[in-house]
A and B are shown apart, each in its own frame.
Chain A
Amino acid sequence: MTTTTPTATAVPKTTAPETTPRRARRRARRSTPLTIAMLAALAYFLLPLFWLLIASTKSTQDLFNSFGLWFSHAPQLLTNIRETLTQDDGVFVHWLLNTVLYAVVSAVGAALLAAAGGYGFAKFRFRGDRLAFNLVLGAVMVPTTALAIPTYLLFAKAGLVNTPWAIILPSLVNPFGLYLMRIYAADAVPDSLLEAARIDGAGEARIFFRIALRLLGPGLVTVLLFTLVATWNNYFLPLIMLNDPDLYPITVGLASWAAQAQNGGAGASSDMLALVVTGSLLSIVPLVVAFLMLQRYWQSGLAAGGVKQ
């Protein structure tokens, strides 16, 4: 994209994105009509989540017999949660732990690989650097699902199918993450600081781990969080790679439960339904919390990638 897209002319030459001066905003006038319109939009985005929260408090019978957007007479959220967690000898807990394992290892690995690579491309010139970077950049456009089937076939030959590696390895390579980290490193790590550290006799590895990595913080969090979400929410890859339910992440597990509930017929006989609904709720909570807690970091990291190309 560097070579094919225009650079933003209106973009300021900032030093580090996190030190960009927040411009003072005129706080005087607030628009009530605009606020109401946006609250209406907000209602649309929160409606399904509100429904999910309500539905998680219902027994399967109540799901069918009470109004969807309000509580039934006998709310039983805790019962539902207990049943979800204990169904099939606690397989849901297994799925949850698998998801955490896959997502955390992938996210940390992808962020570190992208940070080292982005830093290498931003701060060093070497033979073939342009070519290599453009190759990676072009790969941003290659859809992961088009890769998934050939990757499956390769992994099947290597005996990696139906192991955690089948999920983790493909998630480690994040071309967009590398691109983001290169832009971020170019801005956030001043050359003068690197020179000073070199004059003091620090080795390159030491400089990267002790100095650069800290300055790369917000960019690193952005790549980390977005890889975390991508892996946490991934469905296609684990669907094709795994066939042992004990290795499933939540997404594939929930989909298999949903299929069972569906096969149970549309009537109230499908007891799995309440579990699917409650499991869905449980699967959302960790990511939403992560996003809320880390928002300051990932938003400034995104600002760098969204503006400069």
Chain B
Amino acid sequence: MTAARRRRAAGPLFVAPFLALFLLLFLAPLGYAAYLSLFQDRLIGGNVFVGLDNYTQALRDPQLLHGVGRVALFFVIQVPLMLLLALLFALALDSGLLRLARVIRLGIFVPYAVPSVVAALMWGYLYGPDFGPFAQLSRDLGLPAPDFLSDGRLLGSLANIVTWEFVGYNMIILYAALRTIPQELYEAAAMDGAGAWRIAWSVKLPALRPALLLTLLFSVIGSFQLFNEPNLLMKIAPDVISSSYTANLYAYSLAFTGQQVNYAATVSFLLGLVIVIASYAVLLTANRRRTP
């Protein structure tokens, strides 16, 4: 084999291990879910092909629709808040105006290294009426303890946990992007008479677009598959969090408590589809805004 031919063969060989596993562990489960979603287990007749029946059932399933609606609401409120905070923190850190910048940066990032199970447990106990410090303080002041786990507040309490976990992660991505803006751009802007705010708005924000898009994309994916936090808080607030509180929780309980494998596959597949569509919608809107 000549050197040139060896070289041509090398590229595919480098990507082959990844692609092989990708095929087995990404595409195969997707395909399998699609296949399973076309069947139903019936008492009479066993496993029968039903075409798109599961999908028409799912699209009319109030539990699924409520679950998706709930995470959509969660996404619309929690994500902008989280990304705005992350952006403000990143800009503050990058401004060079802070004392203790290193400590602050790492301190805000630390929650990302905390497992969401632990985060949910910690906040669950903090929220709790028994030994949560908020309840303790209210009692000391003679006030009724705030019920963070009531029906009306639970989504907000969940949003707080998720925000706590991921602001720092998003901040770091944005901060890393800010650090790569070349100094000449600032010098040019300063020469044109731009102040700190003007520079942040006209130089930093446009340069952050790709990084912001990335964080937004991750947030779409994260929000719609919300599972860990509600699953753990469920044990503390079983009356408020049902087994179909989020779409993902619903898929899980269908598969593992209800033994409805085919329907669970349908719900999983639909949920994946919703996320892909939402992600593309985000990308398309972002691209359209860029070129008016």
Residues of A within 8 A of B (CB): 1, 4-12, 14, 17, 20, 22-27, 29-32, 34-35, 37-39, 41-42, 44-46, 48-49, 51-52, 55, 63-64, 67-69, 113-114, 116-117, 119-121, 123-126, 129, 132, 135-136, 138-154, 169-170, 172-173, 175, 178, 198, 203-205, 208, 229, 232-233, 235-236, 240, 250-252, 254-255, 258-259, 262, 266, 276-277, 280, 283-284, 287-288, 290-292, 295, 299-300, 302-303, 305-309
Using Cβ atoms and an 8 Å threshold, which residues of chain B touch A283? 115, 118
Interface size for B (C-beta < 8 A) is 113
In the assembled complex, the CB of A298 is this many whole angstroms from the nearest CB of chain B, namely: 9
**Interface pair A153/B32, CB less than 8 Å apart:** yes
**Interface pair B173/A143, CB less than 8 Å apart:** no
**Interface pair B126/A255, CB less than 8 Å apart:** no
**Interface pair B89/A175, CB less than 8 Å apart:** no
Q: In the complex, which residues 164-217 of chain B have their Cβ closer than 8 Å to any Cβ of chain A?
A: 164, 167-168, 172-174, 176-177, 179-183, 185-186, 203, 206-207, 209-211, 213-214, 217
Q: Which of A6, A236, A292 contacts B210 (CB 8 A)?
A: A6
B77 on the interface (CB 8 Å rule)? no
B78 on the interface (CB 8 Å rule)? no
B67 on the interface (CB 8 Å rule)? no
Chain A CB within 10 Å, residue with most, of B97, B186, B252, B276: B97
**Interface pair B109/A291, CB less than 8 Å apart:** yes
Using Cβ atoms and an 8 Å threshold, which residues of chain A touch B176? 299-300, 302-303, 306-307
Chain B CB within 10 Å, residue with most, of A10, A12, A17: A10
* C-alpha gap A45/B154 in the complex (Å): 20
**Interface pair B221/A141, CB less than 8 Å apart:** yes
Using Cβ atoms and an 8 Å threshold, which residues of chain A touch B131? 63-64, 68
Q: In the complex, which residues 249-284 of chain B have their Cβ closer than 8 Å to any Cβ of chain A?
A: 251-252, 255-256, 261, 264-265, 268-269, 271-272, 275-276, 279-280, 283-284
In the assembled complex, the CB of B13 is this many whole angstroms from the nearest CB of chain A, namely: 7
Chain B CB within 10 Å, residue with most, of A22, A42, A175: A42
**Interface pair A42/B107, CB less than 8 Å apart:** yes
* C-alpha gap A132/B15 in the complex (Å): 9
Using Cβ atoms and an 8 Å threshold, which residues of chain A touch B42? none
Using Cβ atoms and an 8 Å threshold, which residues of chain A touch B119? 48
* C-alpha gap A219/B168 in the complex (Å): 20
* C-alpha gap A145/B17 in the complex (Å): 23
**Interface pair B106/A295, CB less than 8 Å apart:** yes
Using Cβ atoms and an 8 Å threshold, which residues of chain A touch B287? 4-6
**Interface pair A38/B12, CB less than 8 Å apart:** no
**Interface pair B264/A113, CB less than 8 Å apart:** no
**Interface pair A309/B113, CB less than 8 Å apart:** no
Using Cβ atoms and an 8 Å threshold, which residues of chain B touch A308? 210
In the assembled complex, the CB of B280 is this many whole angstroms from the nearest CB of chain A, namely: 8
* C-alpha gap A148/B231 in the complex (Å): 16
Using Cβ atoms and an 8 Å threshold, which residues of chain B touch A169? 21, 25
In the assembled complex, the CB of A98 is this many whole angstroms from the nearest CB of chain B, namely: 14
**Interface pair B18/A204, CB less than 8 Å apart:** no
In the assembled complex, the CB of A264 is this many whole angstroms from the nearest CB of chain B, namely: 12
* C-alpha gap A308/B207 in the complex (Å): 10
| Beyond A276-B121, A280-B118, 15 extra complex contacts between A and B, CB < 8 Å | A10-B181, A25-B96, A26-B96, A35-B99, A37-B92, A45-B111, A45-B167, A48-B119, A48-B122, A116-B14, A132-B15, A150-B265, A229-B113, A233-B115, A251-B118
**Interface pair A178/B18, CB less than 8 Å apart:** yes
Using Cβ atoms and an 8 Å threshold, which residues of chain A touch B22? 135-136, 139, 173, 175
**Interface pair A145/B26, CB less than 8 Å apart:** no
In the assembled complex, the CB of A130 is this many whole angstroms from the nearest CB of chain B, namely: 12
In the assembled complex, the CB of A287 is this many whole angstroms from the nearest CB of chain B, namely: 4
* C-alpha gap A233/B112 in the complex (Å): 10
30 sampled A-B residue pairs with Cβ under 8 A: A10-B182, A10-B185, A29-B97, A39-B100, A39-B104, A41-B104, A45-B108, A68-B131, A117-B15, A125-B11, A140-B217, A147-B29, A148-B268, A149-B251, A149-B264, A170-B25, A173-B26, A203-B6, A204-B6, A204-B7, A204-B13, A204-B14, A229-B113, A250-B115, A255-B121, A258-B232, A262-B235, A280-B121, A302-B173, A307-B211
